[in-house]
Structure 1
């Protein structure tokens, strides 16, 4: 009795000797802005299926195919299943372990009288073991596994957001290239008519060979744009096929570029971004997982208590084992405390502390990057919208210049050089409008990506 009391009195001393001083987290340097620098119009919420706001059913179908069949998302889903199994493995340590054993044996030994004795024994037993989690190490390990699984779930959402945004951007770029190709072909037909007119003017003596040669050179310059755009379209189609997990081939189109709706997502407050972006949720859960791993590593320095029990039957044969067996049982416990390991456990706890600190720094970097991406997207939308207005005004003026220059040349009041210059300016103005329109739509995709795309992770 006195020895038992001594052990109880010595247990707090042993725990204090094994304990390690807490490792405080580094002070945060993250500052969340109160508002965005660039204000964006629009009051609609960020929907999960945000790509539907462009008004193209083909885009919706393409994104859905990508979310179902993308190879990277399949890898992320498999990884999530792996971490779910890891979580179940960690949680199993909180339950007692039961084992069933059956051990038949036959042996020859020297008996008390020096004669050989052959013995047959058959033992069947049920063994149970349970670790008493006084220090909380097992619970911390379970928490770490749970947060790691939640981090992988957020990683899957982040990958899905990236795939959806890349698919939408690629499709919008494809529509932009289609519009530019249609413009190039229409311009090529106009250049052919101009060359025919210049050749006629030369043949009747109203113009020189120089003007006809200029018209021919401009025709070939425009014709060279067509295969360039066709090659870019083919490459963009293959990139989309990779995203949706399809074989190389054409990609079906829906609405034309100029028929797409320009969405108006509301960015909300910067603090709301911390709840919407899955990559921020992933980094936050990684911090929680590393903090729980640190607690488990520190608890490795504390004694562990393990209870065991065994109940079995023994007989010299199967018949005796079933009719009149000998009962065997044992109950016990053990306390294992580290005394000397050359600092290995403390070093492991220090490593876990640095991992936790790195996770915190990574979280802060992810949040800062999210703020920067949102600001860039908002500024891009504002700048591209104003650029597009000016480009459309320039296109209107360039078409009027081309109309006047063509009439002057056709009636002999101006040289072909004047009309040629007007044709180049008109083609450039039209092409600029199409490029800016596609860029503006792409900037909205970037904003949806920066805002988290409607993925709101569970707390």
Structure 2
């Protein structure tokens, strides 16, 4: 058998023998994730069987809120950064995919040398003009390059899910901030109305003191109550000012005023979707991101493991050469070469095995992180469902509390006006009613915000655009 034939037989045989030299990969950890069949927290009354609307904030039926969320999704700084990261990882995918394609290069190297003649021992000058094309291609026998490309593609998909997660967070933060702003507006209106009542009570106590009907103590108590109510107004205005600035920044603009829509009393939360726990696995962007992290880590592990396997590379070159530039253009000497190479590492000091162990640990970490993300999603949704139920119960109790406080104030005022009781009784009744009214507004704002938190926990109906 000729030497060339022996080489053709030996190369595939060596490849088969070296194929068993891939680095060892430890088994992944056993899954400890348990997906519940139903929610532990009871679904709030009025839960809807409809799927979660992707633009759930429109369910509040407030044009100002819808416009603010739309503006934030277009201009928010964090979202703009996330979009640029998408472009970065798209370029990385293209770079990884390019390694699976052949390369073509061009080289021209005119050379002029002065050297000694071997025959005469005299120096002479020689010119060499050369132009050459070179092509190379690595045959991806083991799929190492394909795995590296898939790792980059999975990372891109994870970044796209991260963009969705940021968008969901921005929409929820804007909605929560706007509802909190409307709650502060309502509290300011209540404080200003209460201040007017306190002012009338103070003036009445002063007149009664001036005519000798009551003591100076009652007048001072009325004045102190007025001052307490007056103190609430600048505090609430400061909170409103800061909340407006925070919302303006979320929307990607400079600090400034925020347009209002419906008052707090007219805002109603959208219906609670009655989804199952398993629905979160397909809807929440952070779960999708964690899932893609597993895919990326697994593909990278496969690519790292195969670095110990032989690589096959084909190279070809062709060009022209001449001692004179005119001959290079008209009658050059044509040259070419074609070669194949089989390269396999024999000893690397354990570098590839160590890199494989590291990649396996990263894959295992991604698996554990995925399970943690899913559990956190279940807990957040359970908390959101329970919060709405308990807040509604608090609203019922607050209504009863306020009704009692209002009746108490009516009786106390009549007793004081007819001289049967001291003014302190009426002051106590006013404080109780004011506290109940403030709690009522805060509960309403918290109930609306709890709806936002639940939509955030349930993924907000966020679905990636088609074709991504």
The TM-score range, normalised by the shorter chain, is: over 0.9
Q: Which runs of 5+ in 1 are unaligned?
A: none
Q: Is the 8 A contact 1:402 1:422 kept in 2?
A: yes
Deviations 1:109-132 (A, max 9, x none): 222322222122221111110001
RMSD: 1.4
CA distance in 1, matches of 2:141, 2:447: 60
Q: Residue 32 of structure 2 corresponds to which residue in structure 1?
A: 29
Q: How does 1:329-368 map to 2 (within 5 A)?
A: 329-368=336-375
Q: Residue 421 of structure 2 corresponds to which residue in structure 1?
A: 414
Q: Is the 8 A contact 1:45 1:265 kept in 2?
A: no
CA distance in 2, matches of 1:11, 1:443: 62
Q: Residue 145 of structure 2 corresponds to which residue in structure 1?
A: 138
> 1:332, CA displacement in angstroms?
0.5
Counterpart of 2:62 (choices 53, 56, 71) is 56
Q: Residue 20 of structure 1 corresponds to which residue in structure 2?
A: 23
Counterpart of 1:88 (choices 87, 91, 94) is 94
CA distance in 2, matches of 1:222, 1:188: 5
Q: Which runs of 5+ in 2 are unaligned?
A: none
CA distance in 1, matches of 2:83, 2:323: 54
CA distance in 2, matches of 1:235, 1:410: 42
1:76 and 2:82 are equivalent in the alignment: yes
> 1:20, CA displacement in angstroms?
2.5
CA distance in 1, matches of 2:144, 2:9: 26
Q: Is the 8 A contact 1:87 1:145 kept in 2?
A: yes
Q: Is the 8 A contact 1:70 1:245 kept in 2?
A: yes
> 1:42, CA displacement in angstroms?
2.0
Q: Is the 8 A contact 1:211 1:416 kept in 2?
A: yes
CA distance in 1, matches of 2:188, 2:373: 39
> 1:397, CA displacement in angstroms?
2.5
CA distance in 2, matches of 1:86, 1:428: 59
Shifted more, 180-189 versus 39-48: the winner is: 39-48
Q: Is the 8 A contact 2:148 2:299 kept in 1?
A: yes
Count of aligned positions: 458
1:287 and 2:294 are equivalent in the alignment: yes
For normalisation by structure 1, the TM-score amounts to 0.97
Q: Residue 271 of structure 2 corresponds to which residue in structure 1?
A: 264
Q: How does 1:226-305 map to 2 (within 5 A)?
A: 226-305=233-312
For normalisation by structure 2, the TM-score amounts to 0.95
Q: How does 1:49-448 map to 2 (within 5 A)?
A: 49-111=55-117, 112-448=119-455
Shifted more, 239-248 versus 361-370: the winner is: 239-248
Runs of 4+ in 1 over 4 A off after TM superposition: none
